[in-house]
Amino acid sequence: MKRRIGTARLGLPLLLLLGGCDNWQSALEARGASAISLKHLIILIVAVCSVIWMLVMIAMIHALWRRRTAWRAPLDLVPPRERRLGWIVSICTGLTAVIILGFTVASFFTTRDISVAGQDDLTIRIGGLQWWWSVEYLDPDPSAGFVSANEIHIPTGRNVRLLLQGDDVIHSFWVPSLAGKQDLIPGRTNEITIRAERPGAYRGQCAEFCGLQHAHMGFLVTADTPEDFARWARAQRAPAANSADDEEIAAGRDVFMRKPCAGCHSIRGTQATGTSGPDLTHLASRAFIAAGLLPTSRGALAAWVADPQTLKPGNNMPLVPLTPDELRAMSAYLASLK
Amino acid sequence: MKERVVLDLSKLPLHALGPASVTWWGTLGFMLIEGTGFALVIAVYLYLMSLAPIWPLNAQPPNLLAGTVMTVVLIASVVPNIMLSRWAEHQDLRKVRIGMVVMSVLGIVPLIIRVFEFATLNIKWDSNAYGSVVWTLLGLHTTHIITDLIDTLVLTALMFTRHGDNLRRYGDVQDNAMYWNFVVAAWLPIYGCIYWLARI
Amino acid sequence: MTDTIRRAQILDTELKRPELTSQLEETWKTERGLWGALSTVDHKIIGRRYITTAFVFLLLGGVLAMLIRLQLAGPEGRLIGPDRYNQIFTMHGANMMFLFAVPVMEAMGVYLVPLMVGTRNIAFPRLNAFSYWMFLAGGLVLWISFALDMGPDVGWFAYVPLSGPQYAPGKRADIWAQMITFTEVAALAVAVEIVVTVFKQRAPGMSLDRIPLFVWAMLVTSFVVIMAMPAIMVASTSLILDRLVGTHFFNPAEGGDVLLWQHLFWFFGHPEVYIIFIPAVGMVSTLVATFSRRPVFGYLPLVVALIGTGILAFGLWVHHMFTTGLPRLGESFFTASSMAIAIPSGVQIFCWIATLWEGRPVFKTPLLFVIGFIVTFVIGGLTGVMVASVPFDTQVHDTYFVVAHFHYVLIGGAVFPLLGAVYYWFPKFTGRMMSERLGRWAFWLIFTGFHATFFPMHILGLEGMPRRVYTYQPDLPWHGLNLFASASAIILAAGFFVFFIDVVMSARSGNPAGDNPWDAPTLEWATSSPPPAYNFAQIPVVSSANPLWEQPGALNVANGLHTDRREVVVTTITTAEPQARESSPQNCIWPLWTAIATSVMLVWSIFSPWAVVWGSIPIAITLIGWFWPKGTPEDEA
C-alpha cells in the first residue's frame, strides 16, 4: 500500500498500471480474454496521454519562466512572432486530431478483439435483483438447465454467453478481471461474453447504483477446468441433498418449510418453491452468502438468518424470529445444502 | 478616468420596435426554449413509437374531427393575427382594440375544441405509454394556448385603459401576435403526430 | 399620451458632472431597508446575492463531501447507514450541480456581463430578480427536505425505475424532480437575459470581434442552457407524472422505456458540464490576458472553440450510456464524436500557453489559479478522452475512475478558474482587494489537497471500486488509497476555509482597490469599484477589443440619455450601432410575489395534481401585477 500511495503522489499512473498487485476484482489484473484486450488499450491510451500531459506541462512551465526581453506595452505585439505562434498552435491542434483518430482506431480494434460468443456456446441468463444475482444455466434440453444464485461457474477456454436482464431496477454486471461491464435493464436483454483461460475465482460487483444495498451486491465467477465444470454442473443439476438421517438437519428442514422462508426461496427436491429470493438448492456449495457479503460457514449462515437487517440494512429478507434451537437446526440444514 | 464625448444619442427614439427591441428578442428566446420542449416531447413520441410492436398501443387512433377543426381554426386565426400586428405597427388604436377582442375570442374557441379533442383521443393517460405521451403533447400545447390567451386578455384590457395608446403597448401587441403565431406553428407537427402518425 | 404618465425630461447633456451623478443615483438607486432589498432589480445586487448564495451551497455541499470521505475512510464504515448515505451522495451531486456550479457561473455573468458590455442593467431586470428568488426557493426546498429526512436518495441522475413509483415510495424523488424545475426556471431566465443583453445592449462600437471573451463564453453558455435544459424539464415532469398520476413513460410493462430517461437526462446532463465549463474558460481567457500583460493570443480561434464546444456538447450524451447495450456498429462513431471535444479544448489550452509565452506573466493569486487550472484540467480532459473510448469506458464507467475524472474537470476545470475569478473581480464587487498572502495559502492548500484527494481515485476505479457504494468490504484492497484520499480531503477543506476567511476579512477590511487595480483592459474596470447603481455615468463607446489598453486613462463616451428615467442604449447585433434609447424597468416587488406563488404551486404539486390548476391562479395574478404599467417614466415610450 505504501508504495502505491507514494507513486500516486508523484503522479505516475503508468508505473501503477505496470506494477502488479493482488486483487481479484481489478481491471489491472486481467485474466479473461476481453479484460486482457481492454488492459492493453488502457495502457496504450494512458501512456500516450501521460506523454501529452508532460509535454503540455513543459510548454507551460517554459512559457511562464522563460527569459524575456525588455518591457513592452500590452498592445505592442510583434507580428512575426505572433505568426510563428499561430503556426505552432495550428500544428498542435492538428496533432490533437491525429491522436484522437489513433485512439478511435485503437478502440475499434479492441472492440473487434473482444470475443463474441455464438448461439451454441454455453449460455447463462443473469438476472439482477435488489440486491443479488439470479443465475440460470440455459440448455437446449430444458431438463439439463438449472438455477443458482450469486456464483457463476464457467469452463476455461470457452466463450460463455451471458444474457443480462434487470428484473427490478437497473444493475450492471461487472467482473473487471474478465471483461468490461454491461447493464441489466428492465424490459431489455443485453449480452456479454466472458472467457477465462485459466482456472481461478474472479469477484464481480454491481456497478450501477441500485438502491440501499448497492454496495453489497457482489458475486463470484469461478473458472474451472472443463472436467471440473462438468462435475460441478452435474452436482448443481441434482436436487438438494437429503440428509434425512441427521436429526438436526431434518429439524432445520422442518423449520425452513414451516416458517415464511419457503415463500421466497426455492430448494429443489422440497416443497420450497419461492422465487423472490435466491435459489438455495446448493447454497453451501457457494463460497459466499448474501451476494458476496460473508464467506459461507455454518456460523455465518446462523448470523445471517438471525439478523439479516443488521448485516445488510434494507435488504429484502425480513427478520424471521426463531428460537435458539430452531436457529441451530436451521443453520445445520442450510450448511448441509452442498 | 477622463471621459471624452464622441457620440450624441439624443436623437434616438425612446423605444424600439420589432427586432430592434429587447422584448422581441426575449420573446424569441422563450419561443426557442418552448420550441425545444415541443421538439423533445415529439421526439419522445417518435422514440416510444419506434419501440412499440404496434402503434397506437392497444387503442384506436384518435378521431380526426376535433383535431382537424382545431387545425383549421388555428390556421385561420393567423390571418387576423397578422393584421393585428400590422395595425399595431401603424399605432392604430381603434383597429388594434378590435383586433385584440377578435384574438381573445380566437384564443377561447380552441380551448373549447380542445375539450372534445381530449374526449376523442380514445385512450387515457394512465392506460399505457402511448396514452401518456399523447395526453402530454396535447396538454403541453393547451398550456401554451392558455398562457397566450391570458396574455391576450390582459393586453386587451390594457388597450382600453389610459396605458393603451403607447408605443410600448403596440410593441407588446406585436410580440404577443408573434407568440400566437408560434403557438399555431407548434401545433402543426403535434397535429401530424397525434392524428396522422397514429394512422400509418 | 395622457397626462397621468410621467415623462422623462432631463437629458444628461444639460447637467454638470456632480448633478449628473446625483441625478442618476436618484433614478437608479435601490431603496434602503428590507423593502428595497426585496424589490431591487439591480443586476449587481442580485448578482452578488446569487454568488454569495451559491457559495453557501458550495460550503454545505463540501460538508457532505467530507461526510462521504469520513464514511469511506475505512472498510465497512458504520458512521452513516445506507439510507442516509444515499441521501448524502445524491444531495452532494444535486447541490453541487444545480445549486452551486451552474448558478454561480450564471451569477458571475449576471454581475459582470452588463458591466463588460458597458450597459446600465441586464436585460429584463425583473426577470433577473425572479430568477434569484426561484433559485433560492429551490435550494431551500432541497435542503429543508434533507433536514427532514426527505432528501432525495436516487442519485443526482435519478435513473428510473429506481426513482419510479414502484421502487421509490415517499416523496424523496419528487423533491429531486421539483428542485430541478426550480433551478431550471432560474437558469433559463438568466440565459435569456444574458443572450438579449449581449445581443442588444452592447456599448456603441462593440462589434462582435470586440466582445470580451468572458461575455462570448456567457453567450454560448446561455444558448446551451436554452437548448439543454428543456430536456431535463421534460424528463423530470414525465417522472412526476409517472409517480403522481400514473402515466407510463418509463414503465416497460406498458410500452414505456427505461432508457428513454437516460437519453433525456443526458441530452441535458452532458451539456450541463459545458454550461459549467464554458464560463470558466471565459474567465481563464480574461485572466490570462490581464496577467500576461497582453491581449489573449488567438481571439478568433478561441471564440470558434467556445461555439464549437457548445455545439459538440449536444453530440456527446450517448457517452454516458456506453454500457447500456448500444449497437456495436455505432461504437466507433460515438467514440470519435465524444473524443472530438478534445479539439476545441486543445485549441484553448494552446492559445493560453501561447499568450503566457509571448506575455509577461505577473504571478498574482488569480494567475496561480489559472496555472493550477491548466495542470489539472489537462489531466481531466485526457481522462475524458479515455472514457470517450467505448471499450475503455466499459472498464471504468461507474467506478471511482469516473469520480476522479469529473472532479478533475469540474473542480480543476471550473472551480479553480472561478476562485481565480473571485480573486480577480473581488475588488470590483466590493472595492477592496483580497489578501495576496492568504490567497497563496488558499491556492496551495486547495491545489495539493485536491490532487492528493482525487488522483488516487483513478487507481481505485481501475482496481474495481464502483461509485455510489456506501461502504466496501475489507477483503478488497481499497482501504489504503481511500484512507489517503480522506486524509487529503482535510487539506482541501482547509484550503477552502482559508479562502472563505480571506473573502470575509477582505470584504470588511481589505485594502481599497481603486477603479482598475490590475490594469485590465475591459470596460468593467472603467467605472468605480464597486460600480455605482447606474454602472456608467456616460455610456462608453468602444473602438477596440481592449479599450482601456488602447487609451490608458481615457474613455470615449456617448451622451444624450435621459437621467430621470432608467435608460439604456439598444444597439444592433453585429456592429453595435445605436438604435434606440430604451427604458429599463424600475425596482419592483412583483417578481418576489410571483416567485412565492410559483414556489407554492411547485411544492404543492408534489402532493396533488390539482395544485397545477389552483396554484396557477395566484401566479397569473402576480404576473399581471408584474406587467401592468405603473405610470413611471419607464413605461413611457
Mention every residue, 6+ apart, whose C-beta is less than 8 A from residue A5: C456, C480, C481, C484
Judged by a CB distance cut-off of 8 A, whether residue C625 touches chain B is no
Check residue A288 and give left, alpha or beta (phi > 0: left; psi -120 to 50: alpha). beta
The answer to whether B48 and B130 are in contact (CB under 8 A) is yes
Interface test with C, best of A36, A62, A103 (most C CBs within 10 A): A103
| pLDDT in the model for residue C634 | 85
Bridge partners of residue A220, in order along the sequence: A151, A203
Residue in chain B closest to C268 (alpha carbons) equals B40
Joined grid coordinates for residue B55: 402503434
| pLDDT in the model for residue C28 | 96
Query: Is A3's pLDDT higher than 50?
Result: no
* Number of domains composing chain B: 1
Interface test with C, best of B11, B24, B34, B40 (most C CBs within 10 A): B40
| pLDDT in the model for residue C7 | 77
| pLDDT in the model for residue C540 | 97
- Rounded CA-CA distance C201/C571 in Å is 6
Query: Is A21's pLDDT higher than 80?
Result: no
Query: Is B101 contained in some domain?
Result: yes
Break chain B down into helix, strand, coil percent, rounded to 5.
75, 5, 20
Name every chain C residue with its beta carbon within 8 A of the beta carbon of B21. 200, 570, 580, 582
Joined grid coordinates for residue A260: 415464511
State which CATH number among 2.40.30.10, 3.40.1050.10, 3.40.1000.10, 2.60.40.420 fits the domain covering A13-237: 2.60.40.420
Mention every residue, 6+ apart, whose C-beta is less than 8 A from residue C270: C313, C314, C316, C317, C319, C320
Of residues A166, A335, A314, the one with CA closest to residue A241: A335
Quickly state the pLDDT bin for A141 (edges 50, 70, 90): confident
| pLDDT in the model for residue B163 | 87
Of the partner residues C13, C226, C255, the one whose CB lies closest to the CB of residue B128: C255
Joined grid coordinates for residue A310: 443488521
- Rounded CA-CA distance B15/B174 in Å is 14
Interface test with C, best of B2, B6, B23, B165 (most C CBs within 10 A): B6
Joined grid coordinates for residue A17: 498500471
Judged by a CB distance cut-off of 8 A, whether residue C248 touches chain B is yes
Q: The domain spanning residue B74 has which CATH number?
A: 1.20.120.80
B15 to C541: CB separation less than 8 angstroms, yes or no: no
Q: How far out from the chain centre does Cα A255 lie?
A: 35
- Rounded CA-CA distance B136/B120 in Å is 15
Q: What is the pLDDT of residues A29-55, one digit of tens each?
A: 999 999 999 999 999 999 999 999 999
Of the partner residues C328, C340, C343, the one whose CB lies closest to the CB of residue A111: C328
- The angle formed by the CA atoms of residues C102, C105 and C109, to the nearest 5 degrees, is 135
Interface test with C, best of B23, B25, B121 (most C CBs within 10 A): B25
Which amino acid, residue C636?
Answer: E
Mean residue pLDDT across chain A: 90
C297 to A85: CB separation less than 8 angstroms, yes or no: yes
Of residues C533, C529, C534, the one with CA closest to residue C507: C529
C580 to B8: CB separation less than 8 angstroms, yes or no: no
Subunits touching B (CB < 8 Å, at least 3 pairs)? Answer: C
The answer to whether C141 and C546 are in contact (CB under 8 A) is no
**Alpha-helical runs (H) found in C313-364:** 331-339, 342-358
C196 to B26: CB separation less than 8 angstroms, yes or no: yes
CA distance C488 to chain A (A): 11
Query: Is B84 contained in some domain?
Result: yes
B125 to C245: CB separation less than 8 angstroms, yes or no: yes
The answer to whether A41 and A109 are in contact (CB under 8 A) is no
Bridge partners of residue C578, in order along the sequence: C571
CA distance C114 to chain A (A): 25
**What 8-state DSSP symbol labels residue B194?**
I
- Rounded CA-CA distance C588/C626 in Å is 8
**What 8-state DSSP symbol labels residue C137?**
H
The answer to whether C30 and C40 are in contact (CB under 8 A) is yes
Q: What is the pLDDT of residues C116-125, one digit of tens each?
A: 999 999 999 9
Query: Is B39 contained in some domain?
Result: yes
B47 to C260: CB separation less than 8 angstroms, yes or no: yes
Q: What is the average per-residue pLDDT within A303-326?
A: 95
| pLDDT in the model for residue A72 | 81
Judged by a CB distance cut-off of 8 A, whether residue A269 touches chain C is no
- Rounded CA-CA distance A173/A184 in Å is 7
Residue in chain C closest to A100 (alpha carbons) equals C339
Name every chain A residue with its beta carbon within 8 A of the beta carbon of C343. 93, 96-97, 100
Residue in chain B closest to C262 (alpha carbons) equals B44
Of the partner residues C323, C349, C477, the one whose CB lies closest to the CB of residue A56: C349
Joined grid coordinates for residue A30: 486481467
Interface test with C, best of B15, B33, B136, B142 (most C CBs within 10 A): B33
Subunits touching C (CB < 8 Å, at least 3 pairs)? Answer: A, B
Joined grid coordinates for residue C147: 433536514
B132 to C201: CB separation less than 8 angstroms, yes or no: no
- The angle formed by the CA atoms of residues C355, C360 and C361, to the nearest 5 degrees, is 80
A217: helix, coil or strand?
coil
Residue in chain C closest to B25 (alpha carbons) equals C196
C147: helix, coil or strand?
helix
Q: Is the ipTM of this complex over 0.90?
A: yes
CA distance B169 to chain C (A): 9
| pLDDT in the model for residue A1 | 37
Measured in degrees and rounded to the nearest 5, phi and psi for residue C563 equal: -105, -15
Report the Cα–Cα distance between both ends of chain C, in Å, rounded.
10
- Rounded CA-CA distance C404/C460 in Å is 9
| pLDDT in the model for residue A22 | 67
Mention every residue, 6+ apart, whose C-beta is less than 8 A from residue C401: C383, C387, C457, C458, C460, C461, C462
CA distance A212 to chain C (A): 5
**What 8-state DSSP symbol labels residue C358?**
H
Query: Pairing between strand C578-583 and A190-194?
Result: unpaired
Q: How far out from the chain centre does Cα C405 lie?
A: 20
**DSSP codes, C407-460:** HIIIIIIIIHHHHHHHHHHHHHHHSBPPPHHHHHHHHHHHHHHHHHHHHHHHHH
Below-70 pLDDT ranges, chain C = 1-5, 637
- Rounded CA-CA distance A318/A43 in Å is 46
Name every chain C residue with its beta carbon within 8 A of the beta carbon of A60. 353, 356, 371, 374-375
Of the partner residues C252, C325, C389, the one whose CB lies closest to the CB of residue A45: C389
Query: Pairing between strand A218-224 and A151-155?
Result: parallel
Of the partner residues C227, C248, C515, the one whose CB lies closest to the CB of residue B132: C248
The answer to whether C456 and C484 are in contact (CB under 8 A) is yes
The answer to whether B37 and C234 are in contact (CB under 8 A) is yes
Mention every residue, 6+ apart, whose C-beta is less than 8 A from residue C161: A168, A169, A170, A186, C167, C250, C251, C258
The answer to whether C319 and C342 are in contact (CB under 8 A) is no
Of residues A218, A205, A219, A221, the one with CA closest to residue A154: A221
Q: Do domains A13-237 and A247-335 have the same CATH topology?
A: yes
Judged by a CB distance cut-off of 8 A, whether residue C255 touches chain B is yes
Residue in chain C closest to A7 (alpha carbons) equals C456
Q: Please report, in tens digits, the pLDDT of each residue of chain B (200 residues total).
A: 789 999 999 999 999 888 999 999 999 999 999 999 999 999 999 999 999 999 999 999 999 999 999 999 999 999 999 999 999 999 999 999 999 999 999 999 999 999 999 999 999 999 999 999 999 999 999 999 999 999 999 999 999 998 888 899 999 999 999 999 999 999 999 999 999 999 98
- Rounded CA-CA distance C343/C352 in Å is 14
Q: Which range marks the domain in which residue B141 is found? A: 21-199
Joined grid coordinates for residue C513: 482597490
Q: Where are the domains of chain A?
A: 13-237, 247-335
Residue with cell 492559445: C351
CATH number, domain A247-335: 2.60.40.420
Residue bearing the bigger pLDDT, A113 or A209 = A209
pTM: 0.95
Bridge partners of residue A196, in order along the sequence: A32
A74 to C82: CB separation less than 8 angstroms, yes or no: no
A221: helix, coil or strand?
strand
